[in-house]
Structure formats: structure tokens, C-alpha cells
Amino acid sequence: GQAVLHDVLIPSVFPWTLFDLLLRDLQSPLSACALPGESAAGGAGGVGGPTLAHLAAVSPEEADALQKMLEYDGDDIAEHFGDLGWERIGREITAPDGPGLSQGTKAAFVEAYVHWSLGEKIADRLGPLAEGFRAVLGGSTMIRRMVDARQLERIVCGGEVPVDVSAIRRRAALQGWDDEKDPAYIDDFWAILASLGEHDKRRFLVFVT
């Protein structure tokens, strides 16, 4: 939010899914992951919540496994794919052939899994971020009603802004580290990070964030 407010571009390190979730929090009618009834007043309403495309931008491996499960037509689907967290996610899914993963429940399970993965699973981290974003930009009509996730990403990140490792180091604070034990370790760490390609630098930023 502060980046937009002060016209400062940040590196494009986050998937577009994050920007769509921020728009959903603002009740934007242009959020592609709003649940029914969640859009802003006067909007068209939600479209059913986050989709596999949202999850694929965050975790391609998980999304690929779920897509393969949707495409699988064998009766041994539960044995073939395993539990996949049914006890945590599928408790409220019912089907004529009983509880558990089956051809009759797979679509509902995938929907519930995506909603959980991009909802309850990350709520403790996304919540404070969305709250701060809302506090700074929640009053902007343009942000709330006129841009979609891709456009918001370009507003926040611009083009491909290189990761400035030197700037990150200047603002970094060491916690739980005794510099006297191995003073060269930290210098080596930053040197290795600076030597990485832009893709790997962005992956590092997403990891530590």
C-alpha cells in the first residue's frame, strides 16, 4: 500500500494471486476470486472463490496434482491419489456413496482444497497484509473498483524491477546471531545472494516473506 501511495515500485516477486486476494479483501467487483456476495456494492457478485489457476500461480505442483485428480476417471481414485488431506478439508463434503475421495466428491474436494489453501491456511499471514493494504488504499475508488489483479500488480511493481540486494542488506536486522562466532558468514551469505540470477533472487524474497 505504501509503495503505491509514494509511487515507489517494488520487485515483482509475488504471484498475481496475492493481488487478487487483496482486491477481494477490498470487495472489488473485479476480483476473480471473490465468493458469491463478496463483491462491492453495485458489483456483479463473486464468481465462486479462488480457482486452480490461482493456486497454480502459488504452488504449481499442488495445482497439477489436483488437476490430474479431476481428470482421473478410475473407481480407485482414493487409492490412486491417497488421502490428500481429506480429514482436514473434506469433512463437510457429502456424497451418495459415502464420505471420502471418490468420483462423486472429487470436484467438491478440489474446490474446498483451493479455498482452504488460499484462505484458512494463510489467514494468519495474509490477514495483516490485507489489513495494512486496506488501511492505506481502501479509500481509493480506482483500486477498489477499476483495476483487476494484473493491473494492480503492474501499478505496484511496474515492469521487471531488479532485486536490489544491497538495499535489502542495509535494511536487514540480524536476530539471534553472534557476529563474533563467524564474522565472514554473513558477508558470504550476501555475496552468494547477490550472485544469483534475478529469478532466484525473487524466489528467495518470496521464501523469506
117: confidence class by pLDDT, cuts 50, 70, 90: very high
46: confidence class by pLDDT, cuts 50, 70, 90: very low
Cell of 165: 540486494
100: confidence class by pLDDT, cuts 50, 70, 90: confident
- Residues 59-89: tens digit of each pLDDT: 999 999 999 999 999 999 989 988 777 777 8
- What integer best gives the mean pLDDT of the chain? 81
Calculate Rg over the CA atoms of the chain: 21
Q: For residue 204, how far is the Cα from the chain centroid?
A: 15
Decide which of 84 and 16 is more confident. 16
Q: Which residues of 133-148 are buried (b: 16+ CB within 10 A; e: fewer)?
A: bbebbeeeeebbbebb
pLDDT reading at 142 higher than 90: no
pLDDT reading at 119 higher than 70: yes
Among the listed residues 26, 1, 42, the one whose alpha carbon sits nearest the alpha carbon of residue 148: 26
Amino acid 16: pLDDT: 92
Q: What is the dihedral of CA 185, 186, 189, 195, to 10 degrees?
A: -120
Q: What is the 3-state secondary structure (H, E, C) of the chain?
A: CHHHHCCCCCCCCCCHHHHHHHHHHCCCCCCCCCCCCCCCCCCCCCCCCCCHHHHHHHCHHHHHHHHHHHHCCCCCHHHHHCCCCHHHHCCCCCCCCCCCCCCCCHHHHHHHHHHHHCCHHHHHHHHHHHHHHHHHHCCCHHHHHCCCHHHHHHHHHCCCCCCCHHHHHHHCCCCCCCCCCCHHHHHHHHHHHHHCCHHHHHHHHHHHC
